[in-house]
Amino acid sequence: MNINTNYLNLEESYLFSTIARKVNEFQEANKDAKVIRLGIGDVTLPLTNSVVSAMQEAVTEMSNSETFKGYGPEQGYEFLRTAVKEYYGRKNVELAPDEIFISDGAKSDLGNILDVFELEGTSLIPNPVYPTYLDTNVMLGRKINFLNGNENNNFLPMPEDGDGGDLIYLCSPNNPTGATYTRDQLQIWVDYANKNGSVILFDSAYETFIKDDNLPTSIFEIEGARTCAIEFCSFSKTAGFTGTRCGYTVIPHDLVLNGTKVNKLWLRRQTTKFNGVPYIIQKGAAAVFTEQGQKETRANVAYYLENAKIIREAFTELGFWFVGGDNSPYIWIKCPAGYDSWQFFDKLLNEAHVVGTPGVGFGSNGQGYFRISAFGNRENVIEATERIKKLFR
């Protein structure tokens, strides 16, 4: 037996594992240092009251033989799919409940979706971008074209910034840059995909951070998207589910390749390889869509956006170039002259005891850039920005 040698083409370890190792080594060697972590986009606010109450009720149900649940539907309980459908309905996007698949988060589905496409196709992946897209394609040995994101296009690459592809990865608001596509820009992408018979894999994990009403929060707000797009979303950043795991993937029935609905293949794939998200978690996720749940969620998002504002103000004061942080929880900074991404990472860690994410970890175009996450707690964000200002003033 041989290994899948495509794995040998991956970086030695996943970006966030490398960072965690480096930070742990630093902390081990500097036991008294108070390290502030604004690296991985992990939330710090706890689950909201509505979510916790719904989960507690679900635990009680599970402890009673009359209401106990064993295996659930692989594509998710109807109550949650209906809640997602109604959420989209409020954005004037009509979905059928069976176009929605409940997942354990966007990351798994973004990787697993490759199962239903031919291996020979070419993936078009923005550079820089969330590393899962690239790594999962490398693992399968797929052909990859890159989309050139840079300061000139404000890190929002358009079709002319790459050599085309069959599977197009778009993330908006973007991870890592925080930049958000406009309606007109997404219309160009949708028209491009429909014309070329490509499929857009749209990652909307950060959609609740969009505060500007003119910006689209779903690819399905764009005319023609139902025939060319799949959307991946998550409760992680919206409702604090990074440790609880729940998300959803939308595959419209109108997405048909070789006369076959992609939705049908994904259902077949999920029923075979996935046993669904736990009932208790899905009950908590459904509570996010209640009136009270939405109120609480908006308050959490507002808290992180206020953190983002504090970070933006600090870098404005220092005169750094940056993008993001207005409709997203990430701020993408240009490192000061003389520093590449990892040198800047080391400088911040060693001298300010602040952790961010080196831009180059998201692709070669991220070299010389650095991502700061706004998911920390307020006190830490304020302290981190004060330390950074002191270091670079």
Give the binding site for ligand MLT (CB under 6 A). Answer: 40-42, 107, 130, 175
Distance in Å, CB of 154 to ligand MLT, minimum: 19
Of 198 and 208, which CB lies nearer to ligand MLT in the complex structure? 208
Distance in Å, CB of 45 to ligand MLT, minimum: 15
Q: Name the phi and psi angles at 37, rounded to 5.
A: -100, 110
For 79, residues 6+ apart whose C-beta sits below 8 A from its C-beta are 282, 283, 286
* Neighbour order of strands in the sheet with 229-234: 100-103, 247-250, 229-234, 199-203, 167-171, 122-127, 143-148
CA 371 to the chain's CA centroid: 14
Distance in Å, CB of 341 to ligand MLT, minimum: 15
Of 107 and 312, which CB lies nearer to ligand MLT in the complex structure? 107
Distance CA 252, CA 230 (A): 7
Of 175 and 249, which CB lies nearer to ligand MLT in the complex structure? 175
Distance CA 312, CA 247 (A): 29
User: How would DSSP label each residue in 133-156?
Assistant: HHHHHHHHT-EEEEEE--TTTTT-
Distance CA 202, CA 186 (A): 10
Residue 240 near residue 48, CB atoms below 8 Å: yes
User: What b/e readout covers 285-303, taking b as 16+ CB neighbours within 10 angstroms?
Assistant: bbbbbeeebbebbeebbeb
Of 40 and 55, which CB lies nearer to ligand MLT in the complex structure? 40
Distance in Å, CB of 329 to ligand MLT, minimum: 9
Distance in Å, CB of 236 to ligand MLT, minimum: 6
Q: What is the 3-state secondary structure (H, E, C) of 374-387?
A: CCCCHHHHHHHHHH
Of 22 and 253, which CB lies nearer to ligand MLT in the complex structure? 22
Distance in Å, CB of 209 to ligand MLT, minimum: 13
Distance in Å, CB of 371 to ligand MLT, minimum: 8
Of 93 and 305, which CB lies nearer to ligand MLT in the complex structure? 305
Of 88 and 130, which CB lies nearer to ligand MLT in the complex structure? 130
Q: Which of 118, 132, 128, 204 shows the shortest CA–CA distance to 165?
A: 118
